[in-house]
Amino acid sequence: MKKSILLLIVVLAMGIMSGCGNKNENEQSNVPADNTPKESKFEEKDGLLVYLDLKNSPFEESGLNISIKKGEDGYADFVKTDLKGNETKDYYKFDYSTNTVEKYYYVSAMGTAYYYYYDLEKDELSKVEDGDHNDVTEKMKSSGRWDSAAEKAAEEIKSLQDYFKEKYGSTIEEAVLQ
């Protein structure tokens, strides 16, 4: 009797588990057979396209609150959030009128902030300012911190560009300028 009940429980558990994985193809993925993402959950709000992505951020333990202003003077903001959607102070602003990315990074342990300016045309970090907008580029270079900051900024910007293209089927620039 105990063996029969145990066997029944195992069979039911296997049935439940296999049923959870048997979604049809449209439910499993937002990517059609040609690998072009079709998902567009952006909503228009106050003249901006906005979307809060809590599941697919390229950053660990973080979501993204995305805002896009379309047009020649347009931009795309990516504000990091916690996994509940609460915004942090850190953001990336892709500005195609100047062809730059402004990265704001707040170091809570030290109570300091930095603005990183990345040139999209040259594909390189061009300047760093402290929280009061004082240029600290030369100070970072002389202290040997420039190269690692430039490398990290480049990696983060590329990961945002790759994430956006994969998730939404266009480049950030196309989304802003179209």
**Average pLDDT for 3-23:** 41
**Average pLDDT for 115-136:** 97
**Residue 40 — pLDDT band, cuts 50, 70, 90?**
low
Residue 14 inside a domain? The answer is no
**Average pLDDT for 118-128:** 97
Q: How far is it between the farthest Cα atoms of the chain?
A: 79
Residue 20 inside a domain? The answer is no
Residue 101 inside a domain? The answer is yes
Structural domain count of the chain: 1
- Mean per-residue pLDDT over the chain, rounded: 83
Q: Which residue has the higher pLDDT, 4 or 88?
A: 88
Residue 171 inside a domain? The answer is yes
Could you report the per-residue pLDDT of 42-54, keeping only the tens digit for each?
Answer: 999 999 999 999 9
Residue 35 inside a domain? The answer is no
Taking the C-alpha atoms of residue 157 and residue 93, their distance in angstroms, rounded to an integer, is 10
**Average pLDDT for 157-176:** 95
**Residue 137 — pLDDT band, cuts 50, 70, 90?**
very high
Note down the domain range covering 88: 42-175
Residue 23 inside a domain? The answer is no
Q: Which residues is 50 bridged to in the sheet?
A: 43, 67
In this structure, are residues 143 and 128 in contact, taking their beta carbons and an 8 Å threshold?
no
Residue 37 inside a domain? The answer is no
Which residue type occupies 75?
Y
Taking the C-alpha atoms of residue 148 and residue 11, their distance in angstroms, rounded to an integer, is 55
In the predicted structure, residue 139 carries a pLDDT above the cut 60: yes
**DSSP letter string over 77-130?**
EEEEE-TTS-EEEEEEEEETTTTEEEEEEEETTTTEEEEEEEETTTTEEEEEEE
Global pTM exceeds 0.85: no
Residue 160 inside a domain? The answer is yes
